[in-house]
Amino acid sequence: MKILANDGMSKSGIEALKNAGMNIITDKVPQENLIQYINENQIDVILVRSATKVRKDIIDACQSIKIIGRGGVGMDNIDVEYARSKGIKVINTPGASSHSVAELVFAHFFGMARFLNDSNRNMPLEGETNFNGLKKNYEKGIELRGKTIGIVGFGRIGQATAKIALGLGMRVLTYDKFDTPNQIEVEFFDGQKLTFGVEKVSMEEILKASDMISLHVPAQDGYVIGEKELDMMKTDAMLVNASRGGVVDEIALLKALEAGKLRAAALDVFEKEPTPDVQILMNPNLSLSPHIGAATLEAQDRIGTELAEQIVELAKTF
pLDDT tens-digit map of 207-252: 999 999 999 998 888 999 999 999 999 999 999 999 999 999 999 9
pLDDT single digits (tens) 19-47: 999 999 999 999 999 999 999 999 999 99
Mean pLDDT over the full length of the chain: 96
In this prediction, what percent of the chain has a pLDDT beyond 90?
95
Query: Degrees (nearest 5) of the Cα angle 10, 157, 260?
Result: 115
pLDDT of residue 36: 97
pLDDT of residue 72: 86
Q: What is the mean pLDDT of residues 94-103?
A: 94
Tell me, yes or no, if 291 is annotated catalytic.
Answer: yes
Q: Is the pLDDT of residue 318 over 90?
A: no
pLDDT of residue 118: 95
Q: Which of 244, 250, 263, 302 is catalytic?
A: 244
Q: Which of 49, 291, 302, 306 is catalytic?
A: 291
- Read off the pLDDT band of 200 (50, 70, 90): very high
pLDDT of residue 94: 87
Query: Degrees (nearest 5) of the Cα angle 159, 165, 168?
Result: 150
Quick count: other Cβ atoms within 10 Å of Cβ 75? 20
- Read off the pLDDT band of 73 (50, 70, 90): confident
Q: What is the mean pLDDT of residues 1-9?
A: 95
Query: Degrees (nearest 5) of the Cα angle 254, 219, 314?
Result: 150
Q: What is the mean pLDDT of residues 261-288?
A: 96
Q: What is the mean pLDDT of residues 248-276?
A: 96
Q: What is the mean pLDDT of residues 281-288?
A: 96
Q: Dihedral of the CA atoms 131, 134, 135, 141 (nearest 10)? A: -160
pLDDT of residue 82: 97
pTM of the complete model: 0.90
**In the chain, ranges of CATH 3.40.50.720 domains:** 2-96+297-315, 98-288
Contacts of 278 (CB under 8 A, 6+ apart): none
Q: How far is CA 174 from the centre of its chain?
A: 17
Q: What is the CATH number assigned to the segment(s) 98-288?
A: 3.40.50.720
Q: Is the pLDDT of residue 313 over 90?
A: yes
CA 219 – CA 267 distance, rounded (Å): 15
Q: Which of 126, 199, 271, 273 is catalytic?
A: 273
Q: Sort 227 into a burial class: Cβ within 10 Å, 0-12 / 13-18 / 19+.
A: middle
Query: Degrees (nearest 5) of the Cα angle 260, 264, 265?
Result: 125
CA 211 – CA 199 distance, rounded (Å): 15
Q: What is the second-level CATH architecture of the domain 2-96+297-315? A: 3-Layer(aba) Sandwich (3.40)
